[in-house]
Amino acid sequence: MELKNKRAVVTGGSAGIGQAIVLDLAKNGAEVAFTYVGPENKEIKRQVESLGRKCLSLESDVSILSEAEKTVAQVVEKLGGIEILINNAGINWDEVVWKMTEEMWDKVLDTDLKGCFNYIRAVAPIFKEQNSGKIVNIASINGLRGKFGQANYAAAKAGIIGLTKTVAKELGKYNVNVNAIAPGLIETEMIQKLPEEIKKQALDETVFKRIGKPENVAHLVTFLCSEKAKHITGEVIKIDGGQYI
């Protein structure tokens, strides 16, 4: 068990990629707390507990620093500590830049980018004090290459990459690994609302001619949190079936 006795916080763990991350961390031995904002998904907690691990499901909005701090304090109190942070929560609200409203910009930046800062800010003093920790931030290939109709989302995901590299430098001397994952198109709720032609275009871009699964991302997260990845930090790892080569 790669992650036995480790305690993890996963933001946005009630659906899609976050749900797969929660379950894979638990399968590999970790106790897991996850956050959500929509209706509670009790099934995930049940599945984690059936593996013999503790699980906390916490309603908490990532875009508010005080909520992140409260969540982290609850996890420390109920699980006894934190060794792993996975910043996964994210939304998109697409529009061409000349039609994008201030609300669309702010909502996506506050959730996708500020949400990562908020949780890193909340765990950093703990990781510094214990001289160890793992942080994985979920970015996107669209943060690397830009994407028509996603000025807000691509800017947020590009911001995550700068945040990742900076925090890797700042927390490196405290033995904390900080990495980002940049997925291509992954089959989740988030892509259900995309027009068919956009999904087809993404599929055609991949060299495998297939869309990724949440589990593909989850396995990479687990690896980055394991001792096998202890010499990897400040990296952005694409997981996209060759969609952006």
Known catalytic residues? 153
Helix H or strand E encompassing 7? strand 7-10
User: Which 3 state secondary structure label does DSSP give 138?
Assistant: strand
Query: Residue 123 Cβ, how far from ligand NDP at the closest point, in Å?
Result: 16
Please identify, using beta-carbon distances, which residue of 128 and 235 lies nearer to ligand NDP: 235
Q: Interface residues for ligand NDP in 119-138 (CB under 6 A)?
A: 138
Cα–Cα distance, 90 to 152 (Å, whole number): 12
Residue 180 touching ligand NDP (CB under 6 A): no
Residue 144 touching ligand NDP (CB under 6 A): no
CB 67 within 8 A of CB 95: no
Task: Find the DSSP H helices in the chain.
Answer: 16-27, 42-50, 65-79, 102-108, 115-130, 141-145, 151-171, 189-192, 196-205, 214-224
Binding residues with ligand NDP: total (CB under 6 A): 28
Out of 102, 103, 189, 197, name the contact with ligand NDP by CB under 6 A: 189
Residue 154 touching ligand NDP (CB under 6 A): no
Mark the segment that binds ligand NDP (CB under 6 A) among 24-32, 96-104, 187-195, 223-231: 187-195
CA distances from 39 to 13, 35, 57, 172, 223 (A): 12, 11, 11, 37, 30
Cα–Cα distance, 29 to 8 (Å, whole number): 10
Please identify, using beta-carbon distances, which residue of 174 and 239 lies nearer to ligand NDP: 239
Out of 6, 82, 90, 220, name the contact with ligand NDP by CB under 6 A: 90
Q: Which residues pair with 36 in a beta bridge?
A: 59
Residue 18 touching ligand NDP (CB under 6 A): yes
- Residues near ligand NDP (CB under 6 A) are 11-12, 14-18, 35-38, 61-63, 88-91, 111, 138, 140, 183, 185-186, 188-191
